[in-house]
Amino acid sequence: MIVRILGEGQFDIDDAATTELNRLDTELEAAVNRNDTAAFTAALQGLLDQVRAQGSPLPVDTLEESDLILPPPDASMDEVRRMLTDEGLIPG
Amino acid sequence: MGVMKRVQLVFKAKANKALDKMEDPRETLDYSYQRQLELLTKVRRGVADVATSRKRVELQMNQLQQQANKLEDQARKALGMGREDLARAALERKASAQSQLNDLQAQYAQLQAEEEKLTVASQRLQAKVDAFRTRKETIKATYTAAEAQTRINEAFTGISEEMGDVGMAIQRAEDKTAQMQARAGAIDELMASGALDDAVGGDRRDDIQSELDMMSAGSDVERELSRLKGEITAGAPKQLEGGANGNSQAAPQTPQSQGQGTQYAPPPPEQGQGTQPTQQAQPVPASDLPAEPQDREGS
């Protein structure tokens, strides 16, 4: 499975690692929903660490689509919220 | 559905929308390639913009550092002259400059990180654009409508995701740079207002430096004065006028002037000098002056 960390690049991750990723991702989403900055920061950090530790970076010249995309490490909760909508941060 | 998937779907939706606009799939390739080149230019310009901001902050940091050094010198001089009040004022101003400096150092580090991020993003995009161009040519050369659509879509979605990523990185860097420029502007204003300034740079003359100047000008005046008095006894009245006028402004305020007037001299045209009687001035006639200065002048 291919995961992109925005601003950092793409990683190839073994499917076995996805359970932990999904757990952290659920936490992240919950934190965004209840506006909990501390939990948000912890969950995002955990996710990114997990991807970097478990995944191997894809060569830069591949043109593969990612299965999952993660916000950059210094993203604020507000930025992430806007990334979740079509109107948001992602340039068309 | 978690955050990771939702963000991915937003990216994908954008790519699909762009794909749907094209009638001929081959057109998609060329159009996309054009946009990739534009984005490459944009990200390189982004790197240059951030570098410009970083240099501006660096310049301000240097100015503030000089300021802090100068203020510390002033404090040292003031203490040497027994003026603890002035030294304290200079150190307070130095603390203010120092805190601005710390703030700028943090900004500088952020801009540097942003610059690195964009540089890496631009290299990554370049690699992908090259790969895309190769694939584009292959697809066009072996074009058969049946398989082309899928291959084009794959290539397009892959690069389009990268473009979205880089585009976002540029946007974030621009936002950060704009914030920092606003703060850099505020610091420029602060420096221009003289709040952190000394006598040399600002519009407003710095009071600490003025007092220090006045105090040391005072002792200069006395030194000049005794030199001129020596010359008078050697019979050089012309030089007296020039010298006395040149130093007259600072003389009245100097308390040190009293102890040094051991030689007789005609009172200069200014009131100030005359109002400070020197202990031995009146009773000592010119002929009793120490011989040493005359000897030096004569030889």
Tell me what percent of the residues of chain B surpass a pLDDT of 90: 24
List the single residue in A3, A25, A90 with the smallest CB-CB distance to B11. Answer: A90
Q: What is the pLDDT of residues B40-90, one digit of tens each?
A: 999 999 999 999 989 999 999 999 999 999 999 999 998 988 888 889 988
The pTM assigned to this predicted structure is 0.65
Structure-derived torsion over alpha carbons of residues A11, A17, A18, A24, reported in degrees to the nearest 10:
-100
CA–CA separation, B124 and B118 (whole Å): 10
Select the residue from A44, A61, A64, A87 to test the B interface by mutation, using most B Cβ atoms within 10 A. A61
Of the CA atoms within 13 Å of residue B268, those in its CB half-sphere come to 24
**DSSP letter, residue B278:** -
**3-state SS class at B270:** coil
Closest CA to B33 of B136, B157, B149: B136
- CB A68, CB B5: distance < 8 Å: yes
Q: Residue A3 pLDDT more than 90?
A: yes
Count the Cβ atoms, other than its own, within 10 Å of residue B91.
18
CA–CA separation, B274 and B272 (whole Å): 5
Q: Classify the phi-psi angles of B289: left when phi > 0, otherwise alpha if psi is within -120 to 50, otherwise beta.
A: beta
Of the CA atoms within 13 Å of residue B251, those in its CB half-sphere come to 27
The pLDDT value recorded for residue A45 is 95
Q: What is the pLDDT of residues B180-217, one digit of tens each?
A: 888 777 777 777 776 665 433 444 456 777 777 777 77
The pLDDT value recorded for residue B295 is 47
Q: Residue A69 pLDDT more than 90?
A: yes
> Binning pLDDT at 50, 70 and 90, where does residue B264 land?
low
What is the interface pTM, i.e. ipTM, of the complex?
A: 0.88
Q: What is the pLDDT of residues A25-64, one digit of tens each?
A: 999 999 999 999 999 999 999 999 999 999 999 998 888 9
Would the CB atoms of A7 and B168 count as touching at under 8 Å?
Answer: yes
